[in-house]
Structure formats: structure tokens, C-alpha cells
Amino acid sequence: MRDVQHTNERSMVSTQWAAAAFAIATITGCINSGGTFLKDESPSTARQRNVVVLDGATVVDVRSGDLTPGVRLVLKGGKIAAIGPTWSVPIPDSAQVVDAHGQYVVPGFLDMHVHVLEQGHLWESLSLMLASGVTGFRQMSGSLVLLQQRREGTLPIRPEQPELVAMPGAFLTPWIAPDKKTAVTVVDEQAAAGADFIKIGLVTPVVLTAVLDEAHRVGIPALGHVPPDVNALDAAKAGMRSIEHLGPGDNVLMNCATDDGLKRVPIKLPPMLKLLPKIPFAEGIVTHFLRPLLVNPVLADSPRDFDQMRRIVMSYSDKKCREVAAQFAEYGEWQVPTLIKLRSSYIAEDPAYRADPALRYVDSDSLKLWRAVTQKFIDKISLDDKQTLKQIYDLDLKLVKALDDAGVKMMTGTDSGPGWVGSGLHKEFDELEKAGLTPLRVLQMTTLRGAEFLGRTATMGTVEAGKNADLVLLDGNPLESVQNLHRVYAVVRNGYYYSRQDLDALMSSVAASVESR
């Protein structure tokens, strides 16, 4: 494979500080992942798994968008044991029968970009996911320790909680993969340890090429962040399986601009960060210092960065964006836009965030930091720059629509932290709707597409006999409006049935747990 080429399309020097901070935080979480922070300190959610019958439901075919009313589903042993018209499927003795007339049954939701294993208070995060209809999640940061715990079955995730569907080893950074030889060794080590994919971060173009080549050789996907001095199109062509956050930064969007003066430059790590691996506990100190930038990377943007953004806005071309989207489709590359993460950073002053009911599930320390960072955004970012950020986000929405129109496969992901998991996915649904995606497409992104990406369509992603009993019952037709995806009536995870009353009680327990800390 040819080397991924350097391109000159945008300078992001100060923003890269935020990327470096993110990488450090990820490394810190991975280093600490063998400690007791994963201990489940919250109330148990253990429950009896009965034979469950969903009677009279309307089943949604997420492939075609067809609706089949009057369906009886028998759930047994974590699987859909039988499915068919109510008159044709007998009800087993001693089954728990749920009257599902008027309910729409869809596969369980998947959040394909979260960081919960390293956050602590795992029970709370998993409970909030479940209450929002999330039955599976892709953990985007890992370690050899976490991979070992998964192999040994010691991760504190119970069968009735959302499933960990995929996890990498450590996030690849200049400290972990500083050169080609080391990068190849790391890829081999993570693959041997059972990593589901290689997570790419702040690496050089030469290292990126080596990672993609070796990952292809050993048969493991490589995906994640496009390095700041690499064109996302080049990365996709070279075999990068999926791109997260539309970049990060404006990496993908820059390809839609006609301004030839936009530039990309390689990240220049401060000397202090280069010495990080050699200083005991230094990563924790640096992470603490840079935590505000992890909450909102926009705070690191310089006047030059905003000038570059304005040039993107001024030279944006719908035609060029359609051409770029067609290229991504040709390369078979996936996207996980995480629009809600982008919007909450670019439009952080939106009063809706400060009035968000989900704040009651955020611990006091995280909430204090988030409020302080948001106030700093309000005070520091000028009105002109805030307008530019809104314009950039509007273009991100256009970009997502162009990608969808071109046939680029996308998945839902939130990059949510503690307290916002679960509810963040529903906010993502709303942003995808604003981008112009159809209700069926949004539903596919959070169900079928994840199963396809994981190569697990034989067991998940659709409502069919023999597949996993991971389901969401909705109070409204999700094909009529994306808003009906919010109307979660009940959730089935691995055959365990949770009524709306159960889910509300679970959320109340989380709120009480947070308040008691």
C-alpha cells in the first residue's frame, strides 16, 4: 500500500492541544483500567429471565421499512424463539405475557461510540443506556488489561445489562506507536489479545500507513481519528475502516471547500508531553490540567483557526461535497458523525443544555467542571466566532446528508460521558433528523448498520426468529417520525424484559446514587 500523503489544507495547531489532551485522557483511562474504579458500587439490577411473550405487536422491518401488525413474539433463553401472527404462535405455559398491541418492535439501539468502562460508576452508565433503549455499545478506548478481563469474564457487566459489542486495545498515539516498527508490534499485540479493532489517534502519516497495512494483514479493522496532517480521503482509500467525529476537527468537511489556501500541518507535541511516558503519574497530572479542553476543545482554537473556519464557510461547495461523499462510498468507508458531540462543543451556549433533565444523573464534580467550561465558552468566544461555529455545524449537517445520499454507511455514536449516556443517543437522533435523514435511515443507523459493521447480522440488527432478544418497544411508529424513537415503552435485553415502570425506577435509582455521592 502506498504511503498516506501529507496534504496542505488547514492549520490546526492550537486545536491539536485538545486532541493531545484527549489522547492523554484515553491513555490514563487505559492505564488505570486494571484498578478498582471498575467496581460496581451501585444497586443490583439482577432479575429473573422468564419466557416472555410480546403479544399483538407491530414489527418493523428495518431493512425495507415494512410494518407487520398483529405479531406474537416468544422470547426464550435470550433469543427470539418464535415469531408470527398471533393466531399461529402458541403461548408457552408459565410465560410472562405482555400486551403489545399498539407498540412497534424494533431491534435494540446501538451506541457505537462511547467511553464508559474507564469512567467509573459503570452500573449507572449502563442503567441510563438501558433506560434509553440502548442494548449494545462499542467501547472506543481499551487496554490489554480490559481485554484480559473480558476474556476471563471478569468485566462487571451482567447479562441483563447492555452488551459490550466491541473494544480496542490502547488508543494509538505517538507514545504508544512512535514509529513504524513499534506500531506493527502494537497492532500484532492487540490483535493477539482479542481486540476487535485498532483505534487510531495522533500518529504520523508513515505510522498510519504501517498500522493500516499490518491491520489488514492480520485481519483486524483499523479506525478512529484521522491524523491532522492526513486527508481523510487518503486515509479512507488506504483502508481506514471508519472515521469518527467527521475528522476530528473539520478533516472531512475541508474536502468540500474550494479555497486552495487552507492547510493541514502535523501536530507538534509540546516537549512536556513527549516526556510523558518517562515520568511516573505525569499523565494523570497533565490530564487534570487539560480537562477543560476535553469537555470543549473549541476553547483551544486560536484566531487563526477561526479564520480558517470562515474560509471553509465562504468556499463551501455542495457540488464538491457530493463528489467527496461519492469517493468515500467508493472506498467502502464508514462514518460515525457523533453530531451531538460536535454541536454541544460548537454551540455550547445553547440554554437547552443547561436546562437538560439529564443533568440530574451527572456527578457533582463533572457537573461543576462542565458548567465552568461552558461559562468560559460564553465569556471567551466572541459573537463573530460563535456565529462561525454555528455555520460550521450547519455545514456538518449538510455533509452528513451528502454522505447519506451517496450511500456511505453511517452509525450512531455519541462520545458521551457519565450522565449523558443513553440520553445522548436520543439527542443524536434529533441532529440526524435536522440533517435531513429519513426516519428509516436514522433507525437503520442505530440498529442494522451496527450489526453489519460488526459482521453479526446472523444474530442481531433485525427482528427475526433465532436472533438475539435485544428489542425496543416504541409507543409510536418510528417510520413516521424520528421523534417516535424517543417514545420507549419497554426494552428487552438478552431476553430480560423491562417495562417503562422498570426503566423509570432504574433511572430514579441512578439519580439517588448520584445524589448520595
Q: Is residue 71 part of a domain?
A: no
Q: pLDDT tens digits for 429-450?
A: 999 999 999 999 999 999 999 9
Split at pLDDT 50, 70, 90, the class of 249 is confident
> End-to-end distance of the chain based on CA atoms, in angstroms?
53
- Report how far residue 126's alpha carbon sits from residue 142's, in angstroms, rounded to the nearest whole number: 17
The owner of cell 455521592 is 517
> pTM (2 decimals)?
0.92
Eight-state DSSP code of residue 202? S
3-state secondary structure of 137: strand
Whether 74 maps to a domain, the answer reads: no
pLDDT of residue 7: 41
Domain that holds residue 451: 13-45+106-516
Q: For residue 127, give the nearest of 46, 50, 49 by alpha carbon.
A: 46
- Does some domain include residue 295? yes
Q: What is the pLDDT of residue 300?
A: 86
Instruction: Evaluate if residue 282 carries a pLDDT over 70.
Output: no
- The strand pair at 67-76 and 109-114 is best described as unpaired
Q: Give residue 49's pLDDT band: very low, low, confident or very high (50, 70, 90).
A: confident
Express each pLDDT in 62-112 by its tens digit. Answer: 999 999 999 999 999 999 999 999 999 999 999 999 999 999 999 999 999
The more confidently predicted of residues 29 and 383 is: 383
Residue 478: CB partners within 8 Å, gap ≥ 6? Answer: 60, 104, 106, 439, 443, 484, 485
Beta bridge partners of 279: none
pLDDT grade for 295, boundaries at 50, 70 and 90:
confident
Q: What CATH number should be reported for the domain holding residue 478? A: 3.20.20.140
Residues in the chain: 517
Burial bucket for residue 152 (CB in 10 Å: 0-12, 13-18, 19+): exposed
**Cell 424513537, residue?**
485
Q: What is the CA radius of gyration of the chain?
A: 23
Q: What is the pLDDT, as a whole number, of residue 173?
A: 86
Is the model's pLDDT at 361 over the cut of 80?
A: yes
Residue 139 within a domain: yes
Q: Give the pLDDT band of residue 285 (cuts 50, 70, 90).
A: low
How far apart are the C-alpha atoms of 287 and 296, rounded to whole Å? 14
CB atoms within 10 A of CB 488: 22
At residue 97, what is the residue type? Answer: V
How far is it, in rounded angstroms, from Cα 114 to Cα 140? 6
Q: Which amino acid belongs to residue 103?
A: Q
4 within a domain of the structure (yes/no): no
Other Cβ atoms closer than 10 A to 1: 11
Sign of the C-alpha dihedral computed for residues 283, 289, 293 and 294 taken in this order: positive
The sign one gets for the Cα dihedral 406, 223, 417, 287 is negative
Other Cβ atoms less than 10 A from the Cβ of 43: the count is 14
- The strand pair at 242-244 and 334-336 is best described as parallel
pLDDT in the model for residue 264 = 81
3-state secondary structure (DSSP) of residue 56: strand
Residue 260 lies in a domain: yes
pLDDT-wise least confident of 169-183, 265-279, 329-343, 346-360: 265-279
Sign of the CA dihedral with 433 first, then 435, 439, and 444 last: negative
| pLDDT mean over 230-251 | 95
Q: Is 244 helix (H, G, I), strand (E, B) or coil?
A: strand
**What is the distance between the alpha carbons of residues 167 and 115, in angstroms, rounded to a whole number?**
10
Q: What does the alpha-carbon distance between residue 209 and residue 239 come to, in Å, rounded to a whole number?
A: 9
Average pLDDT over residues 395-403: 98
| 159 has pLDDT over 90 | yes
Cβ-based neighbour number of residue 362 at 10 Å: 20
Mean residue pLDDT across the chain: 89
pLDDT higher for 1 or 401? 401
Estimate the share of the chain in helix, then strand, then coil, as percent rounded to the nearest 5. 45, 15, 35
Confidence of residue 22 (pLDDT cuts 50, 70, 90): very low
Instruction: Determine the distance from the C-alpha atom of residue 111 to the mean position of all C-alpha atoms in its chain, rounded to a whole number.
Output: 5
The verdict on residue 511 lying in a domain is: yes
Cell numbers placing 62: 428495518
Q: What is the pLDDT of residue 291?
A: 74
Tell me the pLDDT band of 274, cut-offs 50, 70 and 90: low
Written as nine digits, the cell of 454 is: 460488526
Residue 424 is predicted with a pLDDT of: 95
The cell numbers describing 131, all together, are 433506560
Return the exposure string of 433-455: e unless at least 16 CB atoms fall within 10 Å of the residue's CB, then b: bbbebebbbbbbbbbbbbbbbbe
Q: How many separate domains does the chain show?
A: 1
Model pLDDT for residues 197-226, shown as the tens digit of each residue = 999 988 999 999 999 999 999 999 999 999
Task: Name the pLDDT band for 344 (thresholds 50, 70, 90).
Answer: very high
233 part of a folded domain = yes
Q: With beta carbons less than 8 A apart as the criterion, state whether 79 and 467 touch.
A: yes
Residue among 465, 436, 416 at smallest CA distance from 109: 416
